[in-house]
Amino acid sequence: MSVATGNIVIKKVSKSRISEIDFSNLAFGQQFSDHMFVCDYKDGKWQQSQVIPFQNISLSPSSKIFHYGQSIFEGMKAYKNENGETLLFRPLENQKRLNISAKRLAIPEFPEESFMEGLEALLKIDKDWIPTTEGSSLYIRPFMLATGNGFHASPSDEYKFVIATSPSGAYFGGEIKVLIEEKYSRSANGGVGFAKAGGNYAGQFYPTQLAKEKGYQQVIWTDDNTHEYIEEAGAMNIFVRIGDTLLTGPTSDRILDGITRKSIITIAEDEGIKVEVRKIKVSELIEASKKGELKEMFGAGTAAVISPIAGFGHRGEDYDLPEMENSYASRLKKRITDIQYGKTEDKFGWRYPVK
């Protein structure tokens, strides 16, 4: 049966799959909730918004997504507080960034109101899928793909926008050692590095596989021109603590403007930590490490939250980071997750309750 709620047509599953999920043992992004939000673009406009049972998407082999990779995505999370209310964290930032990515990939933008209305309708229907176990949340994956047909290398005339969700645990298991990459580049000036384009991730897999073979879990990308400055990791922005100063690189054409990154800068400053947003040379990290001044490195992102880095490799040498008591990473992680899970006051107005 389908019903209309506001501007959305809703078709519910006849039987929920929720009893199949072991909420005490969740992997990241492996299981999917009962419903998904969908809206198609054709005849020059976005059509009827729908929430429908989670299901396969059927496409012609000539769909442009298969040939020219016109696809973008976002990553967000829904949390449940102690009263069972659903909370989002700065969702309008994701909505805006989706459209920044859309524009760069010549995909039509999706209206803010329809995005929020669709997301909230989906979260209300699937609210029981939001885990409450420590460190878990409902990972939300909004994405758009080119569904129009033809082998001509030009933008599609049809698209699909989907929001799917996955009850998820931690993104990384165990400690992270990173390799500072000097041969391959993730992005270049004038390119699409700042967008969440699917192809940005595909291009990282091979160099990351090579790093894994050498015993590292992630690559830290350096600038494509000189390879002298660290930029970001595959799915996280990077922070470095030298002495008591917290450093992170500036955003650019090549780097994703992370929502966790900008929140961490604000929280760190609020904690009285000195923060510098500036270019960070690999040689500065190595010198600081040799002098014992490189105290911490961590990645920051929605999926990764704050993930401490245990050490890095560069030109065949390994540099280990010390184990810190009361580290910036643990302090900042507690502050941001307490806001996200509704355990503390929302000083910056970042929480968005789904009512």
Residues near ligand PLP (CB under 6 A) are 75, 232, 235-237, 256, 258-261, 301-302
Residue 26 partner contact from ligand COI, ligand PLP, none using kind-dependent CB cut-offs of 5 to 8 Å: none
Residue 258 partner contact from ligand COI, ligand PLP, none using kind-dependent CB cut-offs of 5 to 8 Å: ligand PLP
C-beta closer to ligand PLP: residue 10 or 233: 233
Q: How far is the CB of 91 from ligand COI (least distance, A)?
A: 13
Q: How far is the CB of 44 from ligand PLP (least distance, A)?
A: 30
C-beta closer to ligand PLP: residue 186 or 314: 186
Structure-token pair, residue 167: 């009850």
Residue 232 partner contact from ligand COI, ligand PLP, none using kind-dependent CB cut-offs of 5 to 8 Å: ligand PLP
Residue 169 partner contact from ligand PLP, ligand COI, none using kind-dependent CB cut-offs of 5 to 8 Å: none
Residue 118 partner contact from ligand PLP, ligand COI, none using kind-dependent CB cut-offs of 5 to 8 Å: none
Residue 46 partner contact from ligand PLP, ligand COI, none using kind-dependent CB cut-offs of 5 to 8 Å: none
C-beta closer to ligand COI: residue 147 or 166: 166
Q: How far is the CB of 33 from ligand PLP (least distance, A)?
A: 20
C-beta closer to ligand PLP: residue 60 or 348: 348
Q: How far is the CB of 306 from ligand COI (least distance, A)?
A: 12
For residues 232 and 256, give the distance between their C-alpha atoms in angstroms, rounded to a whole number: 8
Residue 309 partner contact from ligand PLP, ligand COI, none using kind-dependent CB cut-offs of 5 to 8 Å: none
Q: How far is the CB of 233 from ligand PLP (least distance, A)?
A: 7
For residues 230 and 222, give the distance between their C-alpha atoms in angstroms, rounded to a whole number: 4
Q: How far is the CB of 338 from ligand COI (least distance, A)?
A: 19
If 0-12 CB within 10 Å is exposed, 13-18 middle and 19+ buried, where does residue 53 land?
Answer: middle
Which residue type, as a one-letter code, is found at position 70?
Q
C-beta closer to ligand COI: residue 197 or 247: 197
- Note the residues at the interface with ligand COI (CB under 6 A): 75, 201, 235, 301-303
For residues 185 and 204, give the distance between their C-alpha atoms in angstroms, rounded to a whole number: 8
Position of minimal CB gap to ligand COI: 75
C-beta closer to ligand COI: residue 8 or 303: 303
Strand partners, 276: 247
Q: How far is the CB of 88 from ligand COI (least distance, A)?
A: 13
